[in-house]
Structure 1
Amino acid sequence: MSEAICGRESVYGADLTRGRKYEILELDEAKGQVKVRGNRGRMRWYPLSCFDFDVPAAAVLSTVEVQSEYEADPSQYVEVIVGLSDGQRRWCIFATPAALIEMGDPLKGTTVRVLYGAPHLIVATAIDEEIIHRTLHHIDSQGELLACTLPLGVKG
């Protein structure tokens, strides 16, 4: 049979690894599932949505560079550069809900600020280096890292 690349681990993180190739043992398009041997050696059915069939390889997270000092001040935001296994460099912003108060465009004639069109903004209730790394690895495992970052050099 052919092979497929895991593009999204979903809830199967112990059995599937994003970016890894799996031999397709059976395919049931009617039920929307594929049978592969997972990381633990068990053969089982997984949703088709976990796999990419038309890509030679998936670019996965390889490096994380925190660009600004973070001092446990919840009103700050942190810029982060991520490197992917295919050489791409992308960036995103981590912010706490408190930091959002200072971000965005002021609405003329009001004290209201509006923030929109920022898919590269990741909001977490707390931010430190470990949380940034764990969050980015989680986003990558779900196949959403490209959607949550911008190419380096593009400002949002």
Structure 2
Amino acid sequence: MICRTQGSYSEALTRGITYQVIDINNDKEMVRIKCDNGRLSWFPLYHFNMNSEDVIDLISWKFDDEVSNDANETNWIEISLKMSDGSERWCILYTPERLRNCLQQPNVYPTGLHIKHMIVVKSYNVEDIQSVLDYLNQEDELIGATLPL
């Protein structure tokens, strides 16, 4: 089985590594494997791809829009991502300030929003964005937070 997310088990599991199954308890949805630290341990099945299909990782990303540090802006920034399976994806980034500014515009309707492919980032600083994308990738949530390009 291939680990798709290590979750809180970073000392025992590595995303993308294939592990030999020692035992499976389907009733409890647990699997016993030999961990990175050499110990045999039980883990929830949702940490693994049961069909041994490869995990898709982030290779690179780039800004699709010019980044402005104007605190009064209301627009989001779009980025494109290249993935390890050769696919390309995209999403929008908002900072908390820009999102607040957007929702405070007069005559905004509806007065709230839900955008599946929106990621809220601390800032448009490259390191902050990379940190969020790496975290989502490690938690196997990046595909769900982006759309095919």
TM-score (norm 1): 0.79
Cα distance, 1:14–1:126 mapped onto 2, change above 3 Å: farther
Distance apart, 1:103 and its partner CA: 4.4
Q: Deviations over 1:91-129 (max 9, x none)?
A: 11111122124547x8xxx62343534111101233310
RMSD across aligned positions (CA): 2.3
Percent identity between matched residues is 30
Distance apart, 1:13 and its partner CA: 2.7
Q: 1:56 aligns with which of 53, 56, 60?
A: 53
Cα distance, 1:16–1:101 mapped onto 2, change above 3 Å: same
What residue number does 2:132 align with? 135
Runs of 5+ in structure 1 lacking a partner?
Answer: none
CA–CA distance in structure 2, aligned partners of residues 13 and 77 of structure 1: 33
Runs of 5+ in structure 2 lacking a partner?
Answer: none
Cα distance, 1:113–1:14 mapped onto 2, change above 3 Å: farther
What residue number does 2:82 align with? 83
Query: Quick one: which amino acid aligns to residue 93 of structure 1?
Result: I
TM-score (norm 2): 0.82
Distance apart, 1:61 and its partner CA: 1.4
**Conserved? CA contact 2:123–2:129, under 8 Å:** no
**Conserved? CA contact 2:58–2:84, under 8 Å:** yes
Distance apart, 1:46 and its partner CA: 1.0
**Does 1:40 find its partner at 2:37?**
yes
Q: 2:107 aligns with which of 104, 111, 114?
A: 111
Cα distance, 1:132–1:125 mapped onto 2, change above 3 Å: closer
Distance apart, 1:31 and its partner CA: 2.4
Greater alpha carbon shift after TM alignment, 54-63 vs 82-91 = 54-63
CA–CA distance in structure 1, aligned partners of residues 28 and 143 of structure 2: 28
Q: Secondary structure, in 3 states, of the residue corresponding to 2:19?
A: strand
Q: Deviations over 1:12-48 (max 9, x none)?
A: 2332222221111221222221112223333211111
**Does 1:120 find its partner at 2:131?**
no
CA–CA distance in structure 1, aligned partners of residues 109 and 101 of structure 2: 8
